[in-house]
Chain A
Amino acid sequence: KNEVEQSPQNLTAQEGEFITINCSYSVGISALHWLQQHPGGGIVSLFMLSSGKKKHGRLIATINIQEKHSSLHITASHPRDSAVYICAVKRVSGGSNYKLTFGKGTLLTVNP
């Protein structure tokens, strides 16, 4: 079992819909990242969070440390939100707290 699991793997939505992508992890962490990757493109860091909730524009990220779970929400989705969304955790383990462990990503397609 992977240390970081994302669901769903693929998600298709209509423009304007509310999107939720989930991330569960099984290790102790100091922080969790949400990243965005467009096909053939680079990686953009959307959020880094260690507790609670963060909001940036139409994007909201939440984390529940006790349940080892995080969600990324997109409100009023738009075709330009189509991308792979990746959850990554920074583990707390004996001096290697810089390493990121990644989920396999969720491919989001938003149709007009």
Chain B
Amino acid sequence: AQSVTQLGSHVSVSEGALVLLRCNYSSSVPPYLFWYVQYPNQGLQLLLKYTTGATLVKGINGFEAEFKKSETSFHLTKPSAHMSDAAEYFCAVSDRGNQGGKLIFGQGTELSVKP
């Protein structure tokens, strides 16, 4: 079975500060890993994904994440927060053996950005 734990349901940073959103996963098979962002009353938009290859992946809007197998982590970072980054962020895992398959999501982290 697969699961995702996002540490911190709410993170608040100042504009220009580092953003760090934590995600740990559990999977008995090699995983695919994703970060999605959700703005109020909207669907989910992919920020970045890890499937194979380089463990440091870069996504849209300046975000990046590093897959650390030994730590079963996939933390999301951005060097400098912008007001427009305020949103809900979800980490998700899927089963590589099923060509992806269903996504198992964490409970989400709400990011607030203070001016």
Partners in one complex: no
